[in-house]
Amino acid sequence: MRTRAAWVGSHEVVEVKFRPSVLPFERLLEAAIARSCDQRVFAQNDTQLAVARKRLGERASQVERYDTAKHGAVRPVNAGEELYYLNRSSERYLPLTPVQARQVNSALGAAVLGAKTAGTDARPDDFLSPRQSDLARRITAALERDRKALDKLARPDDLDALAAYTVRLERALTAASR
């Protein structure tokens, strides 16, 4: 139903809210394993814990039983932590859907950390349209000429605002190329 980035103690996690009647925990766990997202799994109940322990051993814990006094409870990431790698790259200026932004952020993080995303060596470009890839090249070129050329732009999270943002980006890139 939804995901959100969070922390359990010092562990960065993706909290997944799902309907077990639609997506059984076993299938969700298999998908996580297939995408190399199984370094640590925090189950919500005894049944999930038993399934996760059978596959992952001690890498599975039950979040309620996690030592919150020592490590803290589940905490959503704050605004500065959201899309950490994307917001520190030139791709932050790309007009991306929220899903694309998370995919690109994940690929950038995997490149930095030397990990694999979705079971492959995913690159940020793997999640971009040809037009977005062209914009990425133009953004890189503009920033190489002037690292502050696009400082007044901020990619919106709202899908309805992306078209207007793209027009502003195109204008800024044209101005930067002069």
**Which are the contacts of 115, defined by CB distance < 8 A and separation ≥ 6?**
36, 109
At 19 the pLDDT is: 92
Of 76, 75, 132, give the one whose Cα is nearest residue 103: 132
The DSSP line for the chain is -EEEEEEETTEEEEEEE--TTTS-HHHHHHHHHHTT--S-EEESSHHHHHHHHHHHGGGEEEGGGS-HHHH--EEEPPTTTTTTTGGGSGGGGS---HHHHHHHHHHHHHHHHT--BTTBB--GGGGS-HHHHHHHHHHHHHHHH-TTTTTT----S-GGGHHHHHHHHHHHHHHHT-
Tokens linked to 75 = 């905490």
| pLDDT > 60? residue 53 | yes
Res 156: pLDDT: 93
* In contact, 61 and 40? CB cutoff 8 Å: yes
pLDDT digits (tens, 9 = 90+) for 57-81: 998 988 765 555 555 577 777 777 7
**Given pLDDT bands bounded at 50, 70 and 90, which one contains residue 162?**
very high
pLDDT of residue 78: 78
Burial class (CB in 10 A: 0-12, 13-18, 19+), 36: middle
pLDDT score for 72 = 55
Q: How far apart are CA 144 and CA 11, in angstroms?
A: 36
What is the pLDDT at residue 64? 61
